[in-house]
Structure 1
Amino acid sequence: MLLAEAVTQPAVTGRCTLTGGSWFSWYDEQTVTATDIDHVVPLAEAWDSGARLWSREKRIAYANYLDDARHLEAVSQRSNRQKADQDVAEWLPVPSARCRYLTYWVPIKLTWNLSVDQAELRALNALAAGCPNPQITYTPVS
């Protein structure tokens, strides 16, 4: 995932060790050399939205899911820490990235059959109203 999202390719110097490289953090429109891997729908938010009822294996599959490139994102450490475990009612990326965020958040919730609370639904509807024809595609996980 880090290699695929790199703006400047890092050198692979050992088993799972990267040196150099840079990434564009679209959450805050910054190019960074030190990055965090963010779960677009945070683990704690997934837990609160139904993952607490899943098997251990399904929770591990969610945490490490690579079959949808929208699930995990290389972002700046600052934006990842600001976001923490908040949902769309509590945190959003910079305005120019919000439609993209919507088209990542909703399919992840649908893919994993995660619930949406009322504040989150209001925030999603407000976001969608400002996004011209957002494309929402997903494949459910069993």
Structure 2
Amino acid sequence: MVLKRDGENVATNASCAAVSDTLRSPYDGGEWTRASDVDIDHMVALAEAWRSGAHAWLPSKRRQFANSLTDSQLWAVTDSVNQTKGDKESSVWKPPLVSFWCIYARSWISVKYDWRLTQQASEKSAQQAMLDTCT
């Protein structure tokens, strides 16, 4: 679903798996035509969400968060960039593409707010620096 939403010319097989597409990764600007070069990233990683309050949620809410298509939580991005990000929060990792920082910070803040997850002062400071790039 995320590849179909974010990609262009997405073709799927009988089991709805993406088999070809054109995708531009917002994190680094990479362009990919094979689904295998792309990961689906959780804007707020599941481990970060756990540390920020998801540990208190029922399993059903954790599943809903992990698979949410109704907010800015899931992004199709270059696989190696996603692996570099891992479960880091926004004061430790920023997308390599500076022109995406504004959207990244807004999305991070939105996900944390919508899901009532806590933010550390260091996160807020990093987000403000990214928001300062908004035009």
Paired AA for residue 28 in structure 2: D
The 1-side partners of 2:42 and 2:116 are apart by 16
- Are the structure 2 counterparts of residues 55 and 13 from structure 1 closer, same or farther at C-alpha, using a change threshold of 3 Å? same
Q: State the SS of the aligned residue for 1:21.
A: strand
Checking the alignment, whether the CA contact within 8 Å between 2:25 and 2:78 is kept in structure 1 is: yes
1:19 is aligned to 19
Tell me which residue corresponds to 2:90: 88
Report if the CA contact (8 A) 2:11-2:20 is conserved. yes
Residue in structure 1 matching 2:128, options 110, 125, 131: 125
Residue-by-residue CA offset, 1:48-106 (whole Å, 9 max, x unaligned): 100001111100100011112x2100000011001110011010012111011011111
Q: 1:53 to 1:28 in 2, by over 3 A?
A: same
Match of 2:31 in 1: 31
Distance 1:76 1:15 in 2: 23
Q: Note the C-alpha offset of 1:126.
A: 2.1
Aligned length: 130
- Give secondary structure in 2 for the equivalent of 1:14: coil
Q: Is the 2:3–2:18 contact (alpha carbons within 8 Å) kept by the matching residues of 1? A: no
TM-score, structure 1 normalization: 0.86
Structure 2: give runs of 5+ residues left out of the alignment: none
Give the structure with the higher percent helix.
2
**Which range moved further: 11-20 or 88-97?**
11-20
Q: For 1:20, what is the secondary structure of its paired residue?
A: strand
Structure 2 residue matching 1:122: 3-state secondary structure? helix
Check whether the contact 2:6–2:76 (CA below 8 A) recurs between aligned residues: yes
CA offsets per residue over residues 11-45 of structure 1, 9 Å max, x none? 21121322111211010011113210000111111
Query: Does the CA-based 8 Å contact 2:106-2:131 persist in structure 1?
Result: no
SS at match of 2:69: coil
**TM-score under structure 2 normalisation?**
0.90
